Structure 1
Protein backbone atom coordinates (compact mmCIF):
# COMPACT_ATOMS: atom_id res chain seq x y z
CA UNK A 1 0.00 0.00 0.00
CA UNK A 2 2.81 2.43 0.87
CA UNK A 3 4.53 1.73 -2.42
CA UNK A 4 1.28 2.39 -4.31
CA UNK A 5 0.86 5.76 -2.56
CA UNK A 6 4.43 6.81 -3.37
CA UNK A 7 3.99 5.74 -6.98
CA UNK A 8 0.70 7.70 -7.24
CA UNK A 9 2.32 10.78 -5.73
CA UNK A 10 5.20 10.72 -8.21
CA UNK A 11 2.82 10.25 -11.12
CA UNK A 12 0.55 13.05 -9.87
CA UNK A 13 3.48 15.50 -9.53
CA UNK A 14 4.78 14.64 -13.02
CA UNK A 15 1.32 15.31 -14.44
CA UNK A 16 0.73 18.57 -12.57
CA UNK A 17 4.12 20.11 -13.38
CA UNK A 18 3.51 20.53 -17.16
CA UNK A 19 0.00 21.78 -16.41
CA UNK A 20 1.34 24.42 -14.00
CA UNK A 21 4.01 25.52 -16.49
CA UNK A 22 1.39 25.82 -19.24
CA UNK A 23 -0.91 27.86 -17.01
CA UNK A 24 1.89 30.18 -15.97
CA UNK A 25 2.92 30.64 -19.61
CA UNK A 26 -0.65 31.51 -20.62
CA UNK A 27 -0.94 33.94 -17.68
CA UNK A 28 2.30 35.71 -18.57
CA UNK A 29 1.28 35.92 -22.23
CA UNK A 30 -2.12 37.35 -21.34
CA UNK A 31 -0.61 39.92 -18.96
CA UNK A 32 2.05 40.91 -21.50
CA UNK A 33 -0.57 41.31 -24.19
CA UNK A 34 -2.61 43.63 -21.97
CA UNK A 35 0.43 45.65 -20.88
CA UNK A 36 1.63 46.21 -24.44
CA UNK A 37 -1.68 47.75 -25.54
CA UNK A 38 -0.88 51.34 -26.68
CA UNK A 39 -2.05 54.13 -24.43
CA UNK A 40 -3.74 57.03 -26.22
CA UNK A 41 -3.00 60.47 -24.78
CA UNK A 42 -4.91 63.49 -25.94
CA UNK A 43 -4.25 67.18 -25.45
CA UNK A 44 -7.25 69.48 -25.40
CA UNK A 45 -7.08 73.12 -26.36
CA UNK A 46 -8.23 75.68 -23.81
CA UNK A 47 -11.71 77.18 -24.31
CA UNK A 48 -11.29 80.21 -26.59
CA UNK A 49 -12.34 83.56 -25.04
CA UNK A 50 -14.04 86.29 -27.05
CA UNK A 51 -11.15 88.70 -26.37
CA UNK A 52 -7.54 88.04 -25.33
CA UNK A 53 -5.07 90.64 -24.03
CA UNK A 54 -1.53 90.11 -25.35
CA UNK A 55 1.12 89.48 -22.67
CA UNK A 56 4.91 89.65 -22.78
CA UNK A 57 6.34 86.70 -24.71
CA UNK A 58 3.11 86.00 -26.67
CA UNK A 59 3.10 85.32 -30.41
CA UNK A 60 0.09 85.18 -32.70
CA UNK A 61 0.70 81.53 -33.60
CA UNK A 62 1.24 80.60 -29.93
CA UNK A 63 -2.04 82.22 -28.86
CA UNK A 64 -3.90 80.50 -31.73
CA UNK A 65 -2.43 77.09 -30.85
CA UNK A 66 -3.34 77.57 -27.17
CA UNK A 67 -7.02 77.94 -28.04
CA UNK A 68 -7.13 75.52 -30.99
CA UNK A 69 -7.74 78.11 -33.73
CA UNK A 70 -5.96 79.06 -36.96
CA UNK A 71 -3.57 81.99 -36.51
CA UNK A 72 -4.45 83.26 -40.03
CA UNK A 73 -8.11 83.46 -38.98
CA UNK A 74 -7.16 85.44 -35.85
CA UNK A 75 -4.96 87.77 -37.93
CA UNK A 76 -7.81 88.40 -40.41
CA UNK A 77 -10.37 89.08 -37.66
CA UNK A 78 -8.03 91.68 -36.09
CA UNK A 79 -6.75 93.23 -39.37
CA UNK A 80 -3.15 92.20 -38.61
CA UNK A 81 -1.00 92.07 -41.78
CA UNK A 82 2.05 89.87 -42.32
CA UNK A 83 4.48 89.42 -40.57
CA UNK A 84 1.72 89.31 -37.92
CA UNK A 85 3.30 91.60 -35.32
CA UNK A 86 1.35 91.98 -32.05
CA UNK A 87 1.96 94.20 -29.03
CA UNK A 88 1.77 93.82 -25.25
CA UNK A 89 -1.61 95.08 -24.02
CA UNK A 90 -3.29 94.68 -27.43
CA UNK A 91 -6.81 93.17 -27.34
CA UNK A 92 -7.33 90.35 -29.86
CA UNK A 93 -10.61 88.82 -30.99
CA UNK A 94 -10.27 85.02 -30.75
CA UNK A 95 -13.82 83.96 -31.64
CA UNK A 96 -15.39 84.97 -34.91
CA UNK A 97 -18.54 84.25 -36.84
CA UNK A 98 -17.02 81.62 -39.10
CA UNK A 99 -14.46 83.95 -40.65
CA UNK A 100 -12.11 81.99 -42.90
CA UNK A 101 -8.63 83.25 -43.83
CA UNK A 102 -8.01 84.04 -47.48
CA UNK A 103 -4.87 82.26 -48.69
CA UNK A 104 -3.46 82.86 -52.14
CA UNK A 105 -2.61 79.66 -54.06
CA UNK A 106 -0.72 81.34 -56.88
CA UNK A 107 2.87 80.12 -56.97
CA UNK A 108 4.26 83.18 -58.72
CA UNK A 109 2.91 85.89 -56.37
CA UNK A 110 5.68 88.13 -55.00
CA UNK A 111 4.86 90.39 -52.03
CA UNK A 112 6.95 93.49 -51.54
CA UNK A 113 6.82 96.71 -49.59
CA UNK A 114 4.42 99.08 -51.34
CA UNK A 115 6.02 101.96 -53.11
CA UNK A 116 5.29 105.37 -51.64
CA UNK A 117 3.25 107.51 -54.06
CA UNK A 118 4.21 111.11 -54.85
CA UNK A 119 3.69 113.54 -51.98
CA UNK A 120 1.03 116.22 -52.38
CA UNK A 121 1.36 119.13 -49.96
CA UNK A 122 -1.14 121.69 -48.78
CA UNK A 123 -1.71 123.94 -45.75
CA UNK A 124 -4.98 123.36 -43.92
CA UNK A 125 -6.17 124.02 -40.34
CA UNK A 126 -5.92 121.07 -37.94
CA UNK A 127 -8.37 120.17 -35.15
CA UNK A 128 -8.47 122.66 -32.29
CA UNK A 129 -9.13 122.05 -28.63
CA UNK A 130 -12.83 122.83 -29.11
CA UNK A 131 -13.53 120.13 -31.70
CA UNK A 132 -10.93 117.46 -30.92
CA UNK A 133 -12.59 113.98 -30.67
CA UNK A 134 -12.86 112.27 -27.31
CA UNK A 135 -10.27 109.61 -26.51
CA UNK A 136 -11.64 106.15 -25.79
CA UNK A 137 -12.27 104.70 -23.32
CA UNK A 138 -11.80 107.82 -21.18
CA UNK A 139 -10.07 111.03 -22.24
CA UNK A 140 -6.97 111.78 -20.21
CA UNK A 141 -6.23 115.15 -21.79
CA UNK A 142 -7.60 117.37 -24.55
CA UNK A 143 -5.62 118.33 -27.62
CA UNK A 144 -4.18 121.87 -27.49
CA UNK A 145 -5.23 124.38 -30.12
CA UNK A 146 -3.30 124.17 -33.38
CA UNK A 147 -3.49 126.99 -35.92
CA UNK A 148 -2.12 125.71 -39.24
CA UNK A 149 0.59 123.23 -40.13
CA UNK A 150 2.01 121.97 -43.43
CA UNK A 151 0.60 118.54 -44.24
CA UNK A 152 1.14 115.88 -46.90
CA UNK A 153 -1.19 113.31 -48.43
CA UNK A 154 0.22 109.82 -48.96
CA UNK A 155 -1.71 106.59 -49.63
CA UNK A 156 -5.00 108.33 -48.88
CA UNK A 157 -3.80 109.56 -45.46
CA UNK A 158 -3.17 113.14 -44.32
CA UNK A 159 0.18 113.32 -42.49
CA UNK A 160 1.59 116.02 -40.17
CA UNK A 161 4.87 116.31 -38.32
CA UNK A 162 4.69 114.85 -34.79
CA UNK A 163 6.76 117.76 -33.43
CA UNK A 164 7.63 121.28 -34.55
CA UNK A 165 11.01 121.14 -32.75
CA UNK A 166 14.40 120.91 -34.53
CA UNK A 167 15.59 117.57 -35.96
CA UNK A 168 18.75 116.24 -34.27
CA UNK A 169 19.10 112.97 -36.24
CA UNK A 170 17.68 111.78 -39.54
CA UNK A 171 16.84 108.29 -40.82
CA UNK A 172 20.08 106.26 -41.05
CA UNK A 173 19.77 102.44 -40.77
CA UNK A 174 23.58 102.08 -40.86
CA UNK A 175 23.70 103.94 -37.52
CA UNK A 176 20.61 102.09 -36.23
CA UNK A 177 18.47 105.23 -36.55
CA UNK A 178 15.23 103.95 -38.04
CA UNK A 179 13.31 107.21 -37.89
CA UNK A 180 13.63 110.92 -37.13
CA UNK A 181 14.75 112.27 -33.74
CA UNK A 182 13.44 115.64 -32.55
CA UNK A 183 14.97 117.72 -29.74
CA UNK A 184 12.91 119.63 -27.19
CA UNK A 185 12.11 120.38 -23.57
CA UNK A 186 10.47 118.10 -21.03
CA UNK A 187 6.71 118.23 -21.58
CA UNK A 188 6.75 119.56 -25.17
CA UNK A 189 3.65 118.34 -27.08
CA UNK A 190 3.78 115.32 -29.40
CA UNK A 191 1.08 114.94 -32.07
CA UNK A 192 -0.41 111.98 -33.95
CA UNK A 193 1.05 112.00 -37.46
CA UNK A 194 -2.16 110.70 -39.10
CA UNK A 195 -5.62 109.36 -38.31
CA UNK A 196 -5.59 105.91 -36.75
CA UNK A 197 -6.09 103.69 -33.71
CA UNK A 198 -3.71 103.39 -30.74
CA UNK A 199 -2.62 99.74 -30.54
CA UNK A 200 0.02 100.16 -27.80
CA UNK A 201 0.66 102.73 -25.05
CA UNK A 202 3.04 101.30 -22.46
CA UNK A 203 6.70 100.94 -21.44
CA UNK A 204 7.24 97.21 -22.08
CA UNK A 205 10.14 97.88 -24.49
CA UNK A 206 12.75 99.45 -22.22
CA UNK A 207 14.95 100.88 -24.99
CA UNK A 208 11.97 102.98 -26.20
CA UNK A 209 10.69 104.03 -22.76
CA UNK A 210 7.08 105.20 -22.78
CA UNK A 211 6.04 104.20 -26.30
CA UNK A 212 2.86 104.91 -28.31
CA UNK A 213 2.07 102.94 -31.49
CA UNK A 214 -0.71 104.05 -33.85
CA UNK A 215 -2.07 101.80 -36.58
CA UNK A 216 -3.16 103.60 -39.76
CA UNK A 217 -4.89 102.37 -42.92
CA UNK A 218 -3.04 100.77 -45.85
CA UNK A 219 -0.57 98.91 -43.62
CA UNK A 220 1.14 101.92 -41.97
CA UNK A 221 2.14 102.11 -38.28
CA UNK A 222 3.72 105.16 -36.59
CA UNK A 223 5.78 105.02 -33.36
CA UNK A 224 6.49 107.75 -30.76
CA UNK A 225 9.21 106.86 -28.20
CA UNK A 226 10.79 108.25 -24.99
CA UNK A 227 7.70 110.16 -23.81
CA UNK A 228 7.49 111.58 -20.30
CA UNK A 229 3.70 111.21 -20.29
CA UNK A 230 1.21 109.39 -22.54
CA UNK A 231 -2.19 111.03 -23.04
CA UNK A 232 -3.90 108.13 -24.87
CA UNK A 233 -4.63 104.49 -24.13
CA UNK A 234 -4.65 101.35 -26.26
CA UNK A 235 -7.83 101.19 -28.34
CA UNK A 236 -8.30 104.96 -28.67
CA UNK A 237 -9.02 106.49 -32.10
CA UNK A 238 -7.01 109.64 -32.81
CA UNK A 239 -6.88 112.31 -35.52
CA UNK A 240 -3.91 113.81 -37.32
CA UNK A 241 -2.51 116.68 -35.24
CA UNK A 242 -4.12 115.53 -31.97
CA UNK A 243 -1.75 115.63 -28.99
CA UNK A 244 -1.05 112.10 -27.78
CA UNK A 245 1.96 112.51 -25.45
CA UNK A 246 4.51 114.84 -23.85
CA UNK A 247 8.20 114.74 -24.73
CA UNK A 248 10.61 113.18 -22.24
CA UNK A 249 13.73 111.05 -21.80
CA UNK A 250 12.33 107.64 -20.78
CA UNK A 251 14.60 104.89 -22.11
CA UNK A 252 17.32 107.35 -23.23
CA UNK A 253 19.83 109.83 -21.80
CA UNK A 254 18.35 113.07 -23.19
CA UNK A 255 14.98 114.68 -23.81
CA UNK A 256 13.83 113.87 -27.34
CA UNK A 257 11.19 112.22 -29.53
CA UNK A 258 12.13 109.27 -31.73
CA UNK A 259 9.52 109.02 -34.49
CA UNK A 260 9.28 106.01 -36.80
CA UNK A 261 6.97 104.95 -39.65
CA UNK A 262 6.62 101.34 -40.76
CA UNK A 263 4.95 100.10 -43.95
CA UNK A 264 3.91 96.43 -43.90
CA UNK A 265 6.19 95.94 -40.86
CA UNK A 266 9.34 97.48 -42.42
CA UNK A 267 10.85 100.79 -41.27
CA UNK A 268 10.89 103.50 -43.96
CA UNK A 269 12.29 107.04 -44.01
CA UNK A 270 9.64 109.35 -42.46
CA UNK A 271 11.00 112.18 -44.64
CA UNK A 272 9.38 110.40 -47.61
CA UNK A 273 6.00 110.82 -45.88
CA UNK A 274 6.30 114.15 -44.05
CA UNK A 275 6.82 117.32 -46.03
CA UNK A 276 9.54 119.71 -44.91
CA UNK A 277 11.50 117.03 -42.99
Structure 2
Protein backbone atom coordinates (compact mmCIF):
# COMPACT_ATOMS: atom_id res chain seq x y z
CA UNK A 1 0.00 0.00 0.00
CA UNK A 2 2.83 2.34 0.89
CA UNK A 3 4.60 1.54 -2.38
CA UNK A 4 1.44 2.25 -4.38
CA UNK A 5 1.08 5.69 -2.75
CA UNK A 6 4.70 6.58 -3.52
CA UNK A 7 4.28 5.47 -7.10
CA UNK A 8 1.17 7.71 -7.51
CA UNK A 9 2.95 10.76 -6.02
CA UNK A 10 5.94 10.22 -8.33
CA UNK A 11 3.59 9.96 -11.31
CA UNK A 12 1.64 13.19 -10.45
CA UNK A 13 4.74 15.34 -9.73
CA UNK A 14 6.39 15.08 -13.15
CA UNK A 15 3.11 15.78 -14.90
CA UNK A 16 2.48 18.91 -12.79
CA UNK A 17 6.08 20.08 -13.31
CA UNK A 18 5.90 19.63 -17.09
CA UNK A 19 2.55 21.50 -17.22
CA UNK A 20 4.03 24.40 -15.26
CA UNK A 21 7.01 24.63 -17.65
CA UNK A 22 4.72 24.64 -20.70
CA UNK A 23 2.54 27.41 -19.20
CA UNK A 24 5.62 29.51 -18.42
CA UNK A 25 6.92 29.10 -21.95
CA UNK A 26 3.55 30.17 -23.37
CA UNK A 27 3.50 33.30 -21.17
CA UNK A 28 7.07 34.23 -22.19
CA UNK A 29 6.23 33.71 -25.87
CA UNK A 30 3.13 35.88 -25.57
CA UNK A 31 5.12 38.68 -23.89
CA UNK A 32 7.80 38.46 -26.59
CA UNK A 33 5.21 38.73 -29.36
CA UNK A 34 3.45 41.61 -27.57
CA UNK A 35 6.76 43.40 -27.07
CA UNK A 36 7.61 43.10 -30.76
CA UNK A 37 4.19 44.40 -31.78
CA UNK A 38 4.52 47.45 -29.49
CA UNK A 39 7.76 48.68 -31.09
CA UNK A 40 7.26 52.12 -32.67
CA UNK A 41 7.08 52.21 -36.43
CA UNK A 42 9.77 54.05 -38.34
CA UNK A 43 8.35 57.25 -39.82
CA UNK A 44 8.13 57.20 -43.57
CA UNK A 45 9.97 60.09 -45.31
CA UNK A 46 7.78 63.01 -46.39
CA UNK A 47 7.35 63.17 -50.16
CA UNK A 48 7.53 66.66 -51.62
CA UNK A 49 6.43 67.82 -55.03
CA UNK A 50 9.31 68.29 -57.46
CA UNK A 51 10.22 71.97 -57.51
CA UNK A 52 10.09 73.75 -60.90
CA UNK A 53 12.84 76.12 -62.00
CA UNK A 54 10.45 79.08 -61.65
CA UNK A 55 7.20 79.59 -59.75
CA UNK A 56 4.63 82.36 -60.37
CA UNK A 57 3.15 83.74 -57.13
CA UNK A 58 -0.62 83.38 -56.70
CA UNK A 59 -3.01 85.13 -54.34
CA UNK A 60 -2.61 83.82 -50.77
CA UNK A 61 0.93 82.52 -51.29
CA UNK A 62 3.72 83.15 -48.78
CA UNK A 63 7.44 82.61 -49.29
CA UNK A 64 7.63 80.04 -46.49
CA UNK A 65 4.54 78.24 -47.78
CA UNK A 66 5.94 77.95 -51.31
CA UNK A 67 9.27 76.68 -49.97
CA UNK A 68 7.58 74.11 -47.70
CA UNK A 69 5.48 72.83 -50.62
CA UNK A 70 8.62 71.81 -52.50
CA UNK A 71 10.78 70.80 -49.50
CA UNK A 72 12.97 73.91 -49.77
CA UNK A 73 14.40 76.34 -47.24
CA UNK A 74 12.63 79.68 -47.61
CA UNK A 75 15.88 81.50 -46.77
CA UNK A 76 17.54 79.87 -49.80
CA UNK A 77 14.59 80.89 -52.01
CA UNK A 78 14.84 84.45 -50.69
CA UNK A 79 18.58 84.47 -51.43
CA UNK A 80 17.98 83.24 -55.00
CA UNK A 81 15.52 86.05 -55.66
CA UNK A 82 17.22 88.90 -53.71
CA UNK A 83 14.24 89.18 -51.34
CA UNK A 84 15.12 90.90 -48.05
CA UNK A 85 13.28 90.55 -44.71
CA UNK A 86 10.35 90.62 -44.04
CA UNK A 87 10.29 88.50 -47.24
CA UNK A 88 7.28 90.08 -48.96
CA UNK A 89 6.15 88.73 -52.32
CA UNK A 90 3.41 89.86 -54.69
CA UNK A 91 0.93 88.31 -57.10
CA UNK A 92 2.38 87.30 -60.51
CA UNK A 93 5.97 87.64 -59.25
CA UNK A 94 8.31 85.06 -60.82
CA UNK A 95 10.36 83.23 -58.17
CA UNK A 96 13.43 81.15 -59.00
CA UNK A 97 13.40 77.88 -56.99
CA UNK A 98 16.48 76.14 -58.40
CA UNK A 99 20.06 77.16 -59.05
CA UNK A 100 22.15 79.75 -57.28
CA UNK A 101 21.93 83.53 -57.09
CA UNK A 102 25.21 84.01 -58.96
CA UNK A 103 23.66 82.44 -62.06
CA UNK A 104 21.05 85.16 -62.51
CA UNK A 105 21.93 87.34 -65.48
CA UNK A 106 20.27 90.01 -67.56
CA UNK A 107 20.43 90.04 -71.35
CA UNK A 108 22.42 92.91 -72.83
CA UNK A 109 23.21 94.33 -76.23
CA UNK A 110 25.93 92.49 -78.25
CA UNK A 111 29.49 93.66 -77.57
CA UNK A 112 28.29 95.64 -74.51
CA UNK A 113 30.02 95.13 -71.15
CA UNK A 114 27.57 93.83 -68.57
CA UNK A 115 27.76 94.60 -64.88
CA UNK A 116 26.29 92.12 -62.36
CA UNK A 117 22.83 92.89 -61.04
CA UNK A 118 23.06 94.22 -57.52
CA UNK A 119 20.86 92.77 -54.82
CA UNK A 120 17.82 94.82 -54.01
CA UNK A 121 14.19 94.46 -53.00
CA UNK A 122 11.72 95.00 -55.84
CA UNK A 123 8.88 97.29 -54.75
CA UNK A 124 5.87 98.55 -56.63
CA UNK A 125 5.47 102.33 -57.13
CA UNK A 126 3.96 104.26 -54.23
CA UNK A 127 0.47 105.67 -54.59
CA UNK A 128 -1.97 107.40 -52.30
CA UNK A 129 -4.96 105.36 -53.51
CA UNK A 130 -6.09 102.23 -51.66
CA UNK A 131 -5.51 98.89 -53.32
CA UNK A 132 -8.12 96.20 -53.71
CA UNK A 133 -8.29 94.06 -50.51
CA UNK A 134 -8.44 90.86 -52.57
CA UNK A 135 -4.88 91.29 -53.92
CA UNK A 136 -1.66 90.74 -51.97
CA UNK A 137 0.33 93.75 -53.23
CA UNK A 138 2.77 95.76 -51.13
CA UNK A 139 3.27 99.53 -51.47
CA UNK A 140 6.38 101.58 -50.84
CA UNK A 141 6.45 104.10 -47.99
CA UNK A 142 5.97 107.73 -49.10
CA UNK A 143 8.97 109.00 -51.03
CA UNK A 144 11.18 111.63 -49.46
CA UNK A 145 11.70 115.02 -51.06
CA UNK A 146 15.48 114.45 -51.29
CA UNK A 147 16.17 113.29 -54.83
CA UNK A 148 19.71 112.22 -55.82
CA UNK A 149 21.04 113.76 -59.00
CA UNK A 150 22.43 110.94 -61.13
CA UNK A 151 24.90 111.87 -63.88
CA UNK A 152 24.59 109.85 -67.08
CA UNK A 153 28.14 108.56 -66.73
CA UNK A 154 27.33 106.88 -63.40
CA UNK A 155 25.65 103.90 -65.11
CA UNK A 156 26.86 101.25 -67.55
CA UNK A 157 23.39 101.16 -69.13
CA UNK A 158 22.44 102.54 -72.52
CA UNK A 159 19.23 104.54 -72.04
CA UNK A 160 16.56 105.31 -74.64
CA UNK A 161 13.25 107.18 -74.48
CA UNK A 162 10.33 104.87 -73.62
CA UNK A 163 7.94 106.78 -75.88
CA UNK A 164 8.04 109.13 -78.87
CA UNK A 165 4.93 110.95 -77.66
CA UNK A 166 4.93 114.50 -76.26
CA UNK A 167 5.66 115.10 -72.58
CA UNK A 168 2.44 116.18 -70.83
CA UNK A 169 3.81 116.26 -67.25
CA UNK A 170 7.34 116.39 -65.88
CA UNK A 171 8.80 114.88 -62.70
CA UNK A 172 7.49 116.79 -59.65
CA UNK A 173 7.43 115.15 -56.23
CA UNK A 174 5.51 118.07 -54.74
CA UNK A 175 2.65 117.27 -57.13
CA UNK A 176 3.07 113.51 -56.54
CA UNK A 177 4.32 113.00 -60.10
CA UNK A 178 7.16 110.51 -59.63
CA UNK A 179 8.14 110.25 -63.29
CA UNK A 180 7.51 111.65 -66.76
CA UNK A 181 4.09 111.33 -68.38
CA UNK A 182 3.92 111.00 -72.17
CA UNK A 183 0.81 111.59 -74.30
CA UNK A 184 -0.21 109.71 -77.42
CA UNK A 185 -2.79 107.37 -78.91
CA UNK A 186 -4.06 103.95 -77.93
CA UNK A 187 -1.66 101.35 -79.29
CA UNK A 188 1.39 103.61 -79.51
CA UNK A 189 4.55 101.59 -78.73
CA UNK A 190 6.01 101.58 -75.22
CA UNK A 191 9.73 100.79 -75.27
CA UNK A 192 12.11 99.37 -72.64
CA UNK A 193 14.35 102.24 -71.55
CA UNK A 194 17.38 99.96 -71.01
CA UNK A 195 18.49 96.32 -70.95
CA UNK A 196 16.95 94.40 -68.06
CA UNK A 197 14.64 91.68 -66.80
CA UNK A 198 10.87 91.97 -66.37
CA UNK A 199 9.99 91.38 -62.73
CA UNK A 200 6.30 92.35 -62.85
CA UNK A 201 3.67 92.56 -65.60
CA UNK A 202 0.11 92.71 -64.25
CA UNK A 203 -2.67 95.00 -63.04
CA UNK A 204 -2.18 94.53 -59.27
CA UNK A 205 -2.37 98.30 -58.65
CA UNK A 206 -5.57 99.58 -60.26
CA UNK A 207 -4.44 103.22 -60.21
CA UNK A 208 -1.47 102.24 -62.41
CA UNK A 209 -3.52 99.95 -64.65
CA UNK A 210 -1.49 97.45 -66.67
CA UNK A 211 1.96 97.95 -65.16
CA UNK A 212 5.36 96.63 -66.26
CA UNK A 213 8.43 96.75 -63.98
CA UNK A 214 11.93 96.11 -65.33
CA UNK A 215 14.99 95.51 -63.15
CA UNK A 216 18.34 96.74 -64.50
CA UNK A 217 21.97 96.61 -63.38
CA UNK A 218 23.47 99.30 -61.12
CA UNK A 219 20.39 99.33 -58.85
CA UNK A 220 17.88 100.78 -61.36
CA UNK A 221 14.20 99.82 -61.77
CA UNK A 222 11.91 101.34 -64.41
CA UNK A 223 8.09 101.37 -64.39
CA UNK A 224 5.68 101.69 -67.34
CA UNK A 225 2.05 102.35 -66.32
CA UNK A 226 -1.46 102.66 -67.89
CA UNK A 227 -0.78 100.33 -70.84
CA UNK A 228 -3.64 99.04 -72.99
CA UNK A 229 -1.70 95.85 -73.73
CA UNK A 230 1.40 94.18 -72.24
CA UNK A 231 3.69 92.23 -74.58
CA UNK A 232 6.08 90.75 -71.96
CA UNK A 233 5.72 88.62 -68.86
CA UNK A 234 7.59 88.28 -65.58
CA UNK A 235 11.00 86.67 -66.10
CA UNK A 236 11.50 87.89 -69.68
CA UNK A 237 14.81 89.52 -70.59
CA UNK A 238 14.47 92.69 -72.68
CA UNK A 239 16.82 95.05 -74.50
CA UNK A 240 16.86 98.84 -74.78
CA UNK A 241 14.32 100.03 -77.35
CA UNK A 242 12.36 96.73 -77.39
CA UNK A 243 8.58 97.14 -77.58
CA UNK A 244 7.18 95.83 -74.29
CA UNK A 245 3.64 97.26 -74.26
CA UNK A 246 1.13 99.51 -76.02
CA UNK A 247 -0.03 102.87 -74.68
CA UNK A 248 -3.50 103.10 -73.17
CA UNK A 249 -5.54 104.58 -70.35
CA UNK A 250 -5.88 101.67 -67.89
CA UNK A 251 -6.06 103.10 -64.37
CA UNK A 252 -6.06 106.69 -65.72
CA UNK A 253 -8.55 109.25 -67.02
CA UNK A 254 -6.66 109.85 -70.26
CA UNK A 255 -4.36 108.06 -72.70
CA UNK A 256 -0.77 108.28 -71.50
CA UNK A 257 2.39 106.47 -70.45
CA UNK A 258 3.64 107.18 -66.94
CA UNK A 259 7.35 106.34 -66.91
CA UNK A 260 9.20 106.14 -63.57
CA UNK A 261 12.85 105.46 -62.70
CA UNK A 262 13.99 104.31 -59.25
CA UNK A 263 17.55 104.07 -58.01
CA UNK A 264 18.03 101.80 -54.96
CA UNK A 265 14.28 102.09 -54.33
CA UNK A 266 14.04 105.91 -54.51
CA UNK A 267 12.33 107.81 -57.35
CA UNK A 268 14.62 110.00 -59.46
CA UNK A 269 13.96 112.37 -62.35
CA UNK A 270 14.10 110.30 -65.56
CA UNK A 271 15.30 113.40 -67.43
CA UNK A 272 18.65 112.99 -65.64
CA UNK A 273 19.43 109.72 -67.45
CA UNK A 274 17.34 109.36 -70.62
CA UNK A 275 17.91 111.36 -73.81
CA UNK A 276 15.96 114.61 -73.88
CA UNK A 277 15.47 114.69 -77.67
Bin of the TM-score, shorter chain as denominator length: 0.5 to 0.7
1:215-254 aligned within 5 A: 215-254=215-254
1:184 to 1:175, Cα distance in 2 relative to 1, 3 A: same
SS at match of 1:158: coil
What's the CA shift for 1:234? 2.0
2:275 maps to which residue?
275
More strand per residue: 1
Picking from 152, 158, 163, the partner of 1:119 is 152
In structure 2, how many angstroms separate the alpha carbons of the residues matched to 1:197 and 1:55?
20
Picking from 65, 68, 77, the partner of 1:74 is 77
1:205 maps to which residue?
205
What's the CA shift for 1:77? 1.0
1:185 maps to which residue?
185
What's the CA shift for 1:47? 6.3
5+ residue gaps in structure 1?
Answer: 1-43, 100-112, 121-153
**Equivalent residues of 2:147, 2:268 under 8 A apart:** no
1:94 counterpart = 2:104:
no
What's the CA shift for 1:218? 2.0
In structure 1, how many angstroms separate the alpha carbons of the residues matched to 2:269 and 2:86?
20
TM-score by length of 2: 0.57
1:98 to 1:230, Cα distance in 2 relative to 1, 3 A: closer
What is the aligned residue count? 188
In structure 2, how many angstroms separate the alpha carbons of the residues matched to 1:83 and 1:259?
28
1:128 maps to which residue?
none
**Equivalent residues of 2:77, 2:96 under 8 A apart:** yes
SS at match of 2:158: strand
1:66 to 1:245, Cα distance in 2 relative to 1, 3 A: same
1:26-41 aligned within 5 A: none
TM-score by length of 1: 0.57
Cα root mean square deviation, aligned: 3.3
**Equivalent residues of 2:148, 2:268 under 8 A apart:** no
What's the CA shift for 1:256? 0.3
5+ residue gaps in structure 2?
Answer: 1-45, 103-145
